[in-house]
């Protein structure tokens, strides 16, 4: 077993400590929840310092908002915010400050979390009128809003809401319109019509620059950001959608972030790409941090999406360098929901869904396939020199491949099986989520549970997930807070066959001329279909291609995963503004996989295969000890926020796999029943990471911002000479719109300029890469075979970090009181010292060495435009995101020699200076030779070329088509990624939709490659109906003829197999209705909502695949990205749901 290369003498941490750690976490959480529902309410723990003399109240309120996460709501006609006040507060609670500000006035305040409502104490007297039209005004959480102005449009008549949010009018015309306005909330206009009761829910105006975002080891108001951070607020509409992972909710919502649904298989995590790809050998996936816990592996299905409050994406170095060696690909910060003060709130959400495959691959029917088979046999026979009029018999043609089954001459007599109908289905899915939240002035708690059951659209695939989440925060004393969380999930996945690829490939390629089952009751194929028996070895055979051969139960594969995420913390207030926080986080995962292939092939007792069983299990533990010292202060117009920290992370894993074969029967598909032990192995690794970091944020008067951060990491993964790496960053910002000289530009409500520069790193290269490893092999000593070991890799003590240098310039614009906002960033990143396997002379005994030699650059621009188009009784909000990234390799070592890859499909890839990472590489296809004259006139025509064969460009100009003519023929890096969203609301009804698309992305379909050209009589794509058939029928001039004898370059990688993967997708549609409060109250509910949601409802693309986003690999495998080999397709999903809150 390999041991960890520890850093600076840190000792080993035994895996057995895991259970003690988890018991401590559970004990602390239970001990805390049994206290008197104590909470750390934000208002209680936040201390402010102010120094203003004879200053307008409005300016003091702005200063409070700048220093904290509080925001004020009030009626400016009832609360005089222009009166002069004097305040001197030194580390005081908000209550103390507000008491002083409003002492001697009739203004009262109420604090709900971070919201402060101001209203006159005698406000109730203003609404004592006879009732005509009445109602209640609340915020989105259902809390009453006192002091809201309600005016009859076009008049000076009006009233204000009382302390309970109630209002009423007397004898209003049906043609009248009421206008509801309140500072800090969006104005709403509502026509009266025949209504006598109009209840209104106002939305916060502060969802833009005032909102608070996570920035890594802290939070900040968005308007004070100097870096590039994208935020997603998971409202109930998004959180309760029937998704098993939260990547689906990120589509199109943040500019510069591309989400790929790489596989539609239930339970699979989406792939997220932030601002391009920065590495060739290391991972390109972003770091995922959940409630401060850094996930050891990229997986967006670790937690239940309904437990998420916000998702913040750190895109530039100023934001992500605080994570140092793990921040090069960006960082996704997930903040889960917390409890709130007040009575307990219980929420239940249930949705039921139906799924169907998003689209099908368009293959030939029986008549079309029969003619294609005849053409392929006849063309091969003629090209061989045979007589085109020779009878269709083995005696006349000498080889069955030049003949065809006689039933094909009468297509109407053939079976016409649509294999997509056989393997696809309409599949149900059900999701239920429950949560309980509450607390008092000292403690808040949040408890939730979720169940998801999903059948896949492909037969014999299904998925189940169960999750439990507990989160507690408690204030023990004025100076001590403790808290923590525990998140556990279990999921079970059942697949048909090994990753379901065999089933889908067979559905696309198995000929439609065979029945599902033959007359003998076994799987249909040439052996039991009348007239096809003599072509068993020529046409696609059952045991190679029948979809039921594996996907119909011939293979069993099930996977069980258990994830447990726990964290506890303690926080001590040392001095004014100075806080110490210590936390311990642990992530435990356990995976079990079982694969069994039956001996029974479905073709009868005489056609059996050797059954085999493969079992593997793995257990990993990652834990982190983190200590932070945080300081926050302000004086006059200055604000300072600083944090320093020390972090230690340990990663451990142990796995076992075993395989047996030669089973007596398929009745006991377990390891112990196998008669032959085929293999047994185990795997263990561990690593350590030590870090120190710090950041300082400075803000002067809300106008001028600056931030500096630094992190140093020491990793056991790198050579002894380069274990430590340093990652600094600096950023500045200027809120130009706050300057006095900018007041004349009244239509521009916000202008903020940002610039950042910094470094991040990438340590995700696997363990022990710098060490010279040993491999095991058999060796002969005389007549005796024995096991021995030999060096299998070259030691490289100079192995060091991949480092990314990033620059970002951005600006934020707001027009017409931020009804139109524009966020734009231009960025450039250079990733240097990329790690590559560099070829070395074989005389050394090795073929390559892992070294730092490469450099990659990404340059791009990203923009998000948000608008509030309508603000009356009908509200209409929109946003557009668009981003473009140019990826280019800048260096590949001293001589910049290109590196070639054959990733296991029919397309080659290349890394070459001046071009994107893993570009497609091959011959440049140039249509077909329509006749013999074109062949004769082409100086580069190849040996054996016949009319109807493909022709290729002679790039080298030497009149010979060979490997020297290979060029870059495409790239999976898109030119543009975009999205367009609209949300409409009218009274209790809301409607939203999101369009999303990609332009300029090339893909390669391996399935089409295998079926377009003759290969064991597979079915063909219908695009081949436009093929060359004769000199008189040349087709479209691009698709070559079919032949059982392939031409010289038919299967050679070429641009013929590259497709335009651009697409337009209707990603989601949501329609919801909030049941009126009086009806909800009848069932004891405070809120009730019913909704419909649809996902992937429409896909428009020229590509011949199921979905251009799907590809054959994982999120971290870059070389296979863009190559589609009948991957499990995406599904359209139609859902109906209900959300009830008590």
Q: Whose structure tokens read 């008669």?
A: 675
Cβ atoms 146, 161 nearer than 8 A: yes
* pLDDT on residue 30: 45
Q: Is 132 within a domain?
A: yes
Q: What is the mean pLDDT of residues 263-291?
A: 90
Residues 176, 127 share a domain: yes
CA torsion, ordered 1020, 1024, 1025, 1028, to nearest 10 deg: -130
pLDDT bucket at 4, cuts 50 / 70 / 90: very low
pLDDT above 90: residue 1018: no
Residues 133, 95 share a domain: no
SS3 of 460-512: the string is CCEEEEEEEEEEEEEECCCCEEEEEEEEEEEEEEEECCCCCHHHHHHHHHCCC
The full DSSP string for 200-252 is EEEPBSTTSTTSEEE-SSSEEEGGG--S-EEEEE--HHHHTSS-SSGGGGGTT
State which residues form the domain around 67.
Answer: 42-120
* pLDDT on residue 1014: 58
Which is more confidently placed, 146 or 406? 406
Residue 737 Rama label (left phi>0; alpha psi -120 to 50; beta): alpha
* pLDDT on residue 35: 38
Convert the pLDDT of each residue in 870-927 to its tens digit. Answer: 987 788 999 999 999 999 999 987 789 898 888 766 788 999 999 999 999 999 999 9
Residues 95, 106 share a domain: yes
For residue 756, give the nearest of 225, 217, 226, 326 by alpha carbon.
226
For residues 960 and 943, what is the distance between their CA atoms, to the nearest angstrom?
A: 10
* pLDDT on residue 497: 59
CA torsion, ordered 233, 236, 241, 244, to nearest 10 deg: 60
Q: Whose structure tokens read 């169960």?
A: 466
Q: What is the mean pLDDT of residues 444-470?
A: 94
Q: Facing residues of 821 across strands?
A: 814, 866
Convert the pLDDT of each residue in 698-741 to its tens digit. Answer: 999 889 999 999 999 999 988 888 899 999 999 999 999 989 89
* pLDDT on residue 113: 66
3-state helix, strand, coil in the chain (%, to 5): 15, 45, 40
For residues 1121 and 907, what is the distance between their CA atoms, to the nearest angstrom?
A: 11
Q: What is the mean pLDDT of residues 966-979?
A: 95
Q: Whose structure tokens read 């003759």?
A: 1014
State the CB neighbour count (10 A cutoff) for residue 263.
25
For residues 226 and 927, what is the distance between their CA atoms, to the nearest angstrom?
A: 53
CA 744 to each of CA 59, 270, 753, 938: distance values in angstroms, whole numbers, following the listed order: 20, 47, 19, 71
Q: Which two tokens stand for residue 553?
A: 């139960």
CATH code of the domain in which 74 resides = 3.55.50.30
What secondary structure letter does DSSP report for 363?
B
Residues 152, 101 share a domain: no
Q: What is the total count of domains within the chain?
A: 2
Convert the pLDDT of each residue in 6-58 to its tens digit. Answer: 344 344 443 344 444 444 434 434 443 343 333 344 676 677 888 888 888 88
Q: Is 480 within a domain?
A: no
- 287 half-sphere exposure, CB direction, 13 A CA radius: 27
* pLDDT on residue 123: 58
Residues 167, 114 share a domain: no
Give the mean pLDDT of the chain. 86
Q: Facing residues of 865 across strands?
A: 822, 880
Cβ atoms 750, 800 nearer than 8 A: no
Identify the three-state secondary structure at position 306.
helix
Cβ atoms 639, 699 nearer than 8 A: yes
For residue 875, give the nearest of 885, 867, 884, 865 by alpha carbon.
867
Q: Is 54 within a domain?
A: yes
% of the chain beyond a pLDDT of 90:
51
pLDDT bucket at 609, cuts 50 / 70 / 90: confident
Q: Which of 140, 171, 202 is the last residue of a domain?
A: 202
* pLDDT on residue 731: 96
Backbone dihedral angles phi then psi of residue 52, each to the nearest 5 degrees: -130, 140
Convert the pLDDT of each residue in 928-938 to its tens digit. Answer: 999 999 999 99
pLDDT above 70: residue 205: no
Convert the pLDDT of each residue in 458-470 to its tens digit. Answer: 998 999 999 999 9
Q: Is 65 within a domain?
A: yes
Residues 166, 130 share a domain: yes
pLDDT bucket at 553, cuts 50 / 70 / 90: low
Residues 149, 112 share a domain: no
Q: Is 716 within a domain?
A: no
Q: Which of 120, 151, 180 is the last residue of a domain?
A: 120
For residues 133 and 156, what is the distance between their CA atoms, to the nearest angstrom?
A: 17
Cβ atoms 426, 297 nearer than 8 A: no
Of the chain, the end-to-end C-alpha distance in Å amounts to 55
Q: Is 141 within a domain?
A: yes
| Residues found in the chain | 1142
Residues 189, 171 share a domain: yes
Q: Which of 120, 154, 170 is the last residue of a domain?
A: 120
Backbone dihedral angles phi then psi of residue 58, each to the nearest 5 degrees: -60, -40
Tell me which H or E stretch contains 587: strand 578-597
Q: Which two tokens stand for residue 120?
A: 């006159």
Q: What is the mean pLDDT of residues 754-778?
A: 86
SS3 of 108-156: the string is EEEEECCEEEEEECCHHHHHCCCCCEEEEEEECCCCECCCCEEEECCCC
% of the chain beyond a pLDDT of 70:
92
The full DSSP string for 597-661 is E-SB-SS-TTSB---EEEEEEEEEEEEEEEEEEEEEEEETTEEEEEEEEEEEEEEEEEEEEEEEE
Residues 137, 103 share a domain: no
The reported pTM is: 0.83
* pLDDT on residue 42: 65
pLDDT bucket at 759, cuts 50 / 70 / 90: very high
Convert the pLDDT of each residue in 646-667 to its tens digit. Answer: 999 999 999 999 999 999 888 8
Residues 97, 71 share a domain: yes
For residues 878 and 207, what is the distance between their CA atoms, to the nearest angstrom?
A: 14
Residues 78, 60 share a domain: yes
Q: Is 630 within a domain?
A: no
Residues 127, 116 share a domain: no
Q: Which two tokens stand for residue 988?
A: 């209790």
* pLDDT on residue 1013: 63
The interaxial angle of helices 94-101 and 57-67, nearest 10 deg, is 180
* pLDDT on residue 262: 85
Convert the pLDDT of each residue in 389-435 to its tens digit. Answer: 999 999 999 999 999 999 999 999 999 999 999 999 999 999 999 99
Q: Which two tokens stand for residue 465?
A: 């997930």
Tell me which H or E stretch contains 1080: helix 1077-1081
Backbone dihedral angles phi then psi of residue 512, each to the nearest 5 degrees: -75, -5
Backbone dihedral angles phi then psi of residue 400, each to the nearest 5 degrees: -60, -25
For residues 801 and 717, what is the distance between their CA atoms, to the nearest angstrom?
A: 9
pLDDT above 90: residue 448: yes
Question: CA quadruple 47, 52, 53, 56: dihedral positive or negative?
Answer: negative
SS3 of 665-699: the string is CCCCCCHHHCCEEEEEEEEEEEEEEEEEEEEEEEE
Contact partners, residue 99, CB within 8 Å, separation at least 6: none
* pLDDT on residue 45: 67
pLDDT above 80: residue 124: no
pLDDT above 80: residue 1117: no
CATH code of the domain in which 170 resides = 2.60.40.1120
* pLDDT on residue 198: 86
Burial class (CB in 10 A: 0-12, 13-18, 19+), 387: exposed
* pLDDT on residue 130: 38
pLDDT bucket at 500, cuts 50 / 70 / 90: low
Q: Is 623 within a domain?
A: no
Which is more confidently placed, 336 or 771? 336
**Cα 474 to chain centroid, rounded:** 33
For residues 223 and 812, what is the distance between their CA atoms, to the nearest angstrom?
A: 9
Cβ atoms 1002, 970 nearer than 8 A: yes
């Amino acid at each position: 077993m390999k041991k960890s290369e520890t850093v600076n003498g840190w000792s080993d941490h035994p895996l057995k400590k895991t259970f003690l750690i988890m018991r401590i976490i559970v004990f602390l959480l239970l001990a805390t929840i049994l206290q008197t529902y104590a909470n750390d309410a934000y208002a209680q723990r936040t201390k402010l310092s102010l120094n203003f003399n004879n200053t307008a109240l409005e300016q003091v309120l702005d200063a409070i908002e700048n220093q904290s996460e509080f925001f004020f709501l009030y009626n400016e006609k009832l609360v005089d915010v222009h009166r002069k006040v004097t305040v001197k507060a030194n580390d005081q609670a908000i209550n103390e400050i507000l008491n002083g500000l409003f002492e001697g006035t009739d203004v009262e305040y109420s604090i709900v979390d971070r919201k402060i409502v101001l209203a006159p104490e005698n406000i109730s007297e203003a609404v004592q009128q006879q009732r005509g039209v009445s109602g209640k005004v609340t915020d989105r959480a259902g809390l009453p809003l006192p002091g809201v102005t309600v005016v009859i449009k076009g008049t000076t008549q009006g009233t204000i809401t009382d302390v309970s949010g109630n209002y009423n009018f007397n004898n209003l015309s049906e043609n009248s319109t009421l206008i509801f306005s309140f500072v800090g909330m969006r104005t709403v206009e509502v026509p009266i019509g025949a209504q006598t009761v109009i209840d209104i829910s106002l939305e916060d105006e502060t969802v833009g620059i005032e909102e608070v975002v996570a920035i890594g080891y802290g939070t900040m108001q968005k308007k004070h950001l100097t870096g590039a951070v994208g935020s997603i607020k998971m409202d109930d509409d998004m959180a309760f959608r029937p998704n098993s992972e939260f990547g689906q909710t990120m589509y199109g919502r943040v500019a510069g972030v591309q989400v790929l649904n790489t596989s539609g298989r239930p339970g699979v995590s989406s792939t997220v790409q932030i601002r391009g790809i920065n590495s060739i050998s290391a991972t390109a996936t972003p770091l995922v941090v959940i409630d401060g816990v850094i996930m050891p592996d990229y997986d967006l299905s670790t937690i239940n999406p309904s437990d998420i409050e916000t998702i913040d994406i750190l895109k530039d170095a100023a934001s992500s360098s605080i994570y140092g060696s793990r921040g090069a690909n960006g960082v996704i910060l997930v903040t889960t929901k917390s409890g709130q003060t007040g009575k307990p709130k219980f929420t239940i959400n249930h949705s039921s869904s139906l799924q169907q495959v998003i689209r099908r691959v368009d293959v030939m029917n029986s008549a079309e396939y029969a003619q294609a088979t005849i053409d392929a046999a006849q063309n091969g026979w003629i090209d061989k020199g045979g007589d085109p009029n020779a009878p269709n018999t083995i005696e006349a043609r000498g080889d069955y491949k030049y003949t065809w089954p006689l039933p094909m001459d009468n297509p109407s007599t053939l079976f016409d099986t649509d294999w997509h109908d056989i393997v696809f289905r309409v599949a149900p899915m059900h999701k239920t989520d429950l949560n309980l939240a509450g607390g008092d002035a000292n403690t808040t708690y949040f408890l939730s549970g979720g169940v998801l059951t999903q059948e896949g659209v492909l037969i014999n695939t299904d998925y189940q997930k169960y999750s439990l989440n507990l989160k507690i925060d408690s204030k023990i004393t004025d100076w001590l807070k403790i808290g923590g969380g525990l998140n556990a999930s279990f999921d079970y996945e059942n697949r048909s066959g090994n990753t379901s690829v065999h089933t889908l490939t067979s559905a696309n390629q198995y000929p439609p001329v065979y029945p599902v089952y033959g007359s003998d009751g076994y799987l249909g194929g040439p052996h039991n279909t009348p007239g096809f028996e003599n072509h068993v070895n020529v046409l696609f055979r059952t045991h190679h291609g029948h979809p039921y051969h594996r996907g119909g139960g011939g293979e069993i594969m099930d996977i069980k995963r258990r994830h447990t995420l726990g964290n506890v913390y303690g926080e001590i207030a040392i001095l004014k503004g100075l806080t110490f926080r210590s936390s311990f986080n642990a992530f435990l995962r356990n995976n079990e996989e079982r694969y069994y292939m039956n001996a029974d092939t479905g073709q009868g007792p005489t056609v059996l295969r050797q059954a085999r069983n493969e079992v593997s299990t793995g257990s990993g533990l990652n834990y982190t000890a983190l200590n932070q010292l945080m300081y926050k202060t302000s004086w006059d117009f200055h604000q300072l926020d600083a944090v320093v920290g020390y972090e230690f992370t340990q990663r451990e894993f142990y796995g076992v796999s075993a395989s047996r074969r030669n089973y007596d029967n398929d009745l006991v598909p377990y390891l112990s029943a196998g008669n032959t032990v085929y293999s047994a192995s185990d795997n263990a690794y561990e690593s350590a990471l030590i870090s120190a970091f710090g950041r300082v944020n400075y803000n002067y008067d809300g106008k001028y911002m600056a931030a500096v951060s630094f992190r140093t990491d020491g990793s056991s993964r790198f050579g002894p000479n380069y274990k430590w790496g340093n990652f600094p960053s600096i950023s500045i910002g200027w809120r130009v719109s706050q300057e006095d000289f900018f007041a004349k530009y009244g239509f521009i409500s916000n202008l903020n300029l940002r610039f950042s520069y910094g470094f991040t790193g990438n340590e995700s290269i696997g363990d022990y890469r710098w060490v010279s490893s040993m491999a095991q092999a058999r060796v002969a000593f005389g007549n005796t075979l024995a096991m021995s070991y030999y060096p299998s890799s070259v030691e490289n003590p100079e192995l060091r970090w991949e480092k990314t240098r990033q620059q970002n310039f951005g600006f934020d614009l707001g027009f017409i009181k931020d009804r139109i906002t524009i966020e734009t960033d231009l960025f450039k990143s250079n990733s240097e010292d990329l790690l590559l396997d560099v070829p070395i002379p074989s005389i050394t005994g090795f073929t390559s060495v892992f070294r730092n030699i490469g450099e990659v650059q990404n340059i791009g621009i990203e923009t998000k435009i948000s608008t509030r188009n309508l603000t009356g009784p009908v509200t209409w909000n929109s946003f557009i995101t668009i981003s473009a990234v140019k990826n280019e390799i800048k260096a590949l070592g001293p001589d910049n020699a290109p590196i070639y890859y054959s990733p296991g499909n029919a397309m080659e890839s290349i890394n070459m200076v001046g071009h994107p990472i893993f570009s497609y590489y091959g011959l440049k296809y140039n249509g077909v030779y329509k006749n013999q004259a074109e062949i004769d006139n082409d100086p580069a025509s190849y040996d054996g070329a016949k009319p109807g064969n493909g022709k290729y460009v002679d790039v080298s100009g030497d009149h010979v088509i060979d490997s020297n003519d290979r060029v870059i023929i495409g790239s999976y890096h898109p030119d543009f990624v975009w999205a367009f969203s609209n949300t409409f609301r009218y009274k209790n009804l809301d409607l939203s939709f999101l369009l999303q698309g990609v332009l300029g992305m090339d893909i390669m379909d391996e399935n089409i490659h295998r079926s377009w050209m003759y290969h064991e009589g597979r079915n063909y794509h219908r695009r081949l109906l436009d093929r060359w058939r004769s000199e008189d029928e040349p087709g479209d001039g691009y698709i070559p003829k079919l032949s059982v004898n392939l031409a010289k370059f038919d299967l050679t990688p070429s641009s013929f197999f590259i497709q335009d993967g651009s697409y337009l997708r209707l990603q989601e549609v949501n329609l919801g209705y909030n049941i009126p409060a009086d009806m909800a109250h009848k069932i004891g509910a405070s809120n009730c909502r019913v909704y419909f949601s649809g996902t992937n409802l429409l896909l428009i693309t020229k590509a011949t695949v199921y979905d251009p986003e799907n590809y054959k690999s994982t999120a971290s495998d870059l070389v296979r990205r863009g190559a589609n080999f009948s991957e499990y397709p995406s599904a359209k999903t139609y859902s109906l749901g209900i959300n009830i809150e008590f």
